[in-house]
Amino acid sequence: MIYFLTVNYYSTDWITQLLASIEANVSFSYRFILVNNSPSELSVADLKRETVEIINSPDNLGFGGGCNLGLNWIYDRDPQGIVWLVNPDTTIAPNSSDRAATFFKDYPEISILGSLVYEPSGKVWFAGGQFQRETGAIVETKTLKSTKNVAYFPCDWVSGCSLLIHLKNFKNCPQFDPEFFIYYEDFDFCRRYAEKGHAIALSPEVQTIHHPSSIVNRNLYLKYKYSTYSYLLTMQRHASGFVLFVRLMRLLFHAIALLGFKPNVAIGKLEGIANFLTRSPQVS
C-alpha cells in the first residue's frame, strides 16, 4: 500500500487541494497520514475521513521531526509499505500515482525515489540533486533530461517536496535527523542512507506540482535563521572542515552586508550562524 505523508503547519487550505488531487488521480487503495504540527489549528479536524489519519504532535516538531512521527506510525503497521512524502503545497499530477504504485515492483533496488517537480506554470522546479563534497556545492537540477525510455536516473539526493521511501529495503524505520528543524533535512536523509548502501533515484514518470515558497516565505527572519543553521550543519556533516570554514565566513560577510537594506534576512542569517557556533564551537 502507498501511504501519503504530509506535515501540516497552518496549511489546511493547501492540504485540502492536495487531498483533492489525490482523490482525483489515485485508483488504488491508499492512506493519507497527516502529521499536525500546529495543534491549535482546529480546522485540521475537518480533513478527517476514512482514508485520512490525523496524528497530532504535542508541539511543532519541525519538518524532520514531524516526518519521523508519521514514518514510525506507518512502519509499525506496515514495514513493507511505500511512503510518499509530499509537501502540503503540492498536488499529484495525473497518471503519476499509478506509476508510483508499480515502480518499486519493477525496480526493487531503489530505496529512495524523487519525483519530477513542476511549478504551476509548467517550469521544472526540481529534476534531481547532485553533491560535490570537495567544494560543498549542493546542486539542484532544473533542466529536464531526455526521458525517452528512461524509468529513472541515479541522484545524490532528491527533494523532500515529493519523496518516496521503499520501506521494505530498510532493516529499521528510516528517520530524518530532528536536529534539522527545517531545510536540508532531505539532503541529509539521502546522503546518510546512500552511505549505508541505499540507492537513490528520480523518476520522470512520477510527477508533482509545487507552489514554491508559498509557506516558507511567510516569515523571512525565521526562514533564514533555520536555513542558515541547517546549511552549516549540512556542511559540517557532509563536507570537509575547510569547506565548512570558507562557507561560514562567506555567510557571515554576506549577512553583515545585508544589514543596511534587508535587516530581517541579515538578522536571521546572523542568528543561524550564532546558533550553529553555540552548538559546535569547532569549525575546522
Single pTM value for the model:
0.92
Is residue 246 exposed (0-12), middle (13-18) or buried (19+ Cβ within 10 Å)? middle
Amino acid 142: pLDDT: 85
Residue 237 has pLDDT above 80, yes or no: yes
Pick from 195, 84, 202: nearest CA to 152:
202
| CATH 3.40.605.10, domain 2-210, yes or no | no
Residue 215 has pLDDT above 90, yes or no: no
Kindly compute the dihedral angle of the four CA atoms of residues 240, 242, 248, 253, in this order, to the nearest 10 degrees.
Answer: -150
Q: Residue 229 and residue 249: Cα distance in Å, rounded?
A: 13
Over residues 261-283, the pLDDT tens digits come to 899 999 999 999 999 999 854 43
Are 210 and 117 in contact by the 8 Å Cβ rule? The answer is yes
Over residues 43-54, the pLDDT tens digits come to 898 999 999 999
Kindly compute the dihedral angle of the four CA atoms of residues 91, 96, 100, 103, in this order, to the nearest 10 degrees.
Answer: -150
Domain ranges of the chain: 2-210, 219-279
